[in-house]
């Protein structure tokens, strides 16, 4: 039988290169030859055993781009040769209550690519047809990969609520999510404020599109945003609940704090800060497959790009360690052709 190479995660912090048999895609699925796959912090769910059964081998990676080479029974909208991406959500079921109401992100029967089903640290991957994202011409697989998760997550968060063009929008944290959120916010026509630790990050923040810069080590960010008139929207990307606590006070009336950074410590909010000003606090996961296509089209039209470090597929464990160290600037992508 023909085989392909893949990195399997088993147990805790154990990635092994294996040979797998090539199989036909199941009904409703496609098989694709992977060209590139982003390395995201969420990959810790698979590699560090933060899932239901860590002893069951799984291939990590949920920012994958490839070319379809086979389609399963019942797949009519896709064909071999189509260039597609697969994000964190592996495809909705169309049948559960959230799906019937059009809320595909919260489908209750949806697999998570690279965590509950195999992902893109491999030469071949499988996915539900309902989860496929068409990659536009003119965008390379390397550039598209991190946009399928980090890009979509940032893009979707900035559309959480009716924020008018020209309103103040703040992005907290200039990392894998934040450096993209700043570019999106500027391209969407907002007055953009970056909130980060240290004066040395200001020049880069302004290069990415920030009109204002707030050094959270030198001033209270909520007070500083209030002095600017208050933010209609704040996108919090830092993995620290404590760093988000002051931000609510920086919201304008009816403003919204959107939390993207998964933090080990709780976010503490004073209830008067929410009540007076009718402010709100929400979480945001990602977007649907068609919203991801919107994201890629917008990104291409506005020249938005992730800052990427490219690593050959065969060095996936090194790429994962690089991401885990926090030293990558800012997204690591596996190149299957290297």
- Compute the radius of gyration of the chain from its Cα atoms: 20
Give the DSSP letter of residue 89: B
pLDDT at residue 113 greater than cutoff 70? yes
Left, alpha or beta for 88 (phi > 0: left; psi -120 to 50: alpha)? Answer: alpha
**In a 3-state reduction of DSSP, which class is residue 310?**
strand
Q: Which residue in the block uniquely carries the two structure tokens 């944290």?
A: 173
In the numeric block, which tokens belong to residue 111? 């697999």
Q: 181 with 246, same domain? A: yes
Do 31 and 138 lie in one domain? The reply is yes
20 and 143, same domain (yes or no): yes
101 and 195 co-located in one domain: no
**Mean pLDDT value across residues 38-66:** 97
> Domain with 33 in it: what CATH number?
3.90.180.10
Residue 215 Cα distances to 197, 228, 234, 238, 285, angstroms? 5, 14, 15, 14, 27
| pLDDT tens digits, one per residue of 269-320 | 999 999 999 999 999 999 999 999 999 999 999 999 999 999 999 999 999 9
Number of structural domains (the chain) is 2
The DSSP output letter for 295 is H
Residue 171 and residue 143 share a domain? no
Q: Which residues contact 337 (CB under 8 A, 6 or more apart)?
A: 35
Residues 136 and 159 in one domain: no
- Which stretch of DSSP H or E encloses residue 232? strand 231-236
pLDDT of 158-206, one tens digit each? 998 889 999 999 999 999 999 999 999 999 999 999 999 999 999 999 9
Same domain? 105 vs 127 = yes
| Domain end call among 241, 264, 283 | 283
- Statement to judge: residues 138 and 14 lie in one domain: yes
Q: Of 283, 309, 327, which residue constitutes the final position of a domain?
A: 283
Last residue of a domain, which of 265, 283, 301? 283
* Pair (135, 157) in one structural domain: no
Report d(CA 115, CA 51) in Å as an integer.
Answer: 7
Whole-angstrom distance, CA of residue 180 vs CA of residue 100: 32
Total residue count of the chain as it appears in this document: 338
Same domain? For 252 and 318 the reply is no
Range of the domain at 167: 153-283
* Residue 212 per-residue DSSP state: E
Q: Do both 235 and 291 map to the same domain?
A: no
Q: For residue range 226-265, what is the model confidence (pLDDT) as tens digits? A: 999 999 999 999 989 999 999 999 999 999 999 999 888 9
For residues 82 and 57, is the Cβ–Cβ distance under 8 A? no
Peptide bond into 108 cis (omega under 30): no
Q: Which pair of structure tokens corresponds to residue 121?
A: 């640290």
What would you measure as the largest C-alpha separation in the chain, in angstroms? 66
pTM: 0.96
Q: For position 338, what pLDDT does the model report?
A: 82
Q: Are residues 312 and 266 part of one domain?
A: no
- Once rounded to an integer, what is the mean pLDDT over residues 110-116? 98
- The domain that holds 222 is classified in CATH as 3.40.50.720
The rounded distance, in Å, linking the Cα atoms of 314 and 122 is 9
pLDDT at position 1 over 80: no
pLDDT at 162: 86
Place of tokens 């490839």: 66
């Amino acid at each position: 039988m023909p085989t392909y190479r893949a990195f399997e995660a088993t147990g805790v912090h154990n990635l092994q290169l294996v040979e797998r048999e090539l199989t036909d895609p199941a009904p409703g699925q496609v098989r694709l030859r992977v060209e590139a796959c982003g390395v995201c912090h969420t990959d810790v769910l698979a590699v560090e055993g933060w899932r239901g059964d860590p002893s069951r081998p799984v291939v990590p990676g949920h920012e994958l781009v490839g070319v379809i080479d086979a389609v399963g029974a019942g797949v009519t909208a896709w064909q071999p040769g189509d260039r597609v991406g697969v994000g964190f959500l592996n495809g909705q079921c169309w049948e559960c209550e959230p799906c019937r109401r059009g809320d595909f992100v919260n489908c209750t029967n949806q697999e998570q690519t690279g965590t509950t089903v195999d992902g893109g640290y491999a030469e071949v991957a499988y996915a539900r047809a309902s989860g496929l994202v068409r990659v536009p011409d003119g965008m390379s697989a390397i550039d598209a990969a991190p946009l399928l998760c980090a890009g979509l997550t940032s893009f979707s968060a900035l559309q959480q609520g009716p924020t008018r063009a020209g309103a103040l929008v703040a992005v907290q944290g200039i990392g894998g999510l934040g450096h993209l959120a700043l570019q999106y916010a500027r391209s969407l026509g907002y007055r953009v404020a970056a909130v980060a630790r240290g004066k040395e990050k200001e020049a880069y923040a302004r290069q990415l599109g920030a009109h204002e810069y707030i050094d959270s080590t030198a001033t209270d960010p909520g007070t500083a945003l209030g002095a600017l008139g208050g933010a209609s929207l704040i996108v919090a990307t830092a993995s620290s609940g404590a760093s988000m606590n002051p931000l609510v006070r920086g919201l304008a009336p009816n403003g919204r704090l959107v939390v993207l950074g998964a933090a080990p410590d709780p976010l503490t909010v004073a209830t008067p800060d929410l009540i007076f000003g009718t402010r709100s606090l929400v979480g945001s996961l990602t977007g649907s497959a068609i919203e991801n296509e919107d994201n890629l089209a917008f990104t291409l039209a506005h020249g938005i790009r992730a800052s990427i470090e490219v690593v050959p597929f065969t060095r996936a464990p090194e790429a994962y360690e690089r991401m885990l160290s926090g030293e990558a600037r800012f997204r690591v992508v596996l190149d299957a052709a290297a």
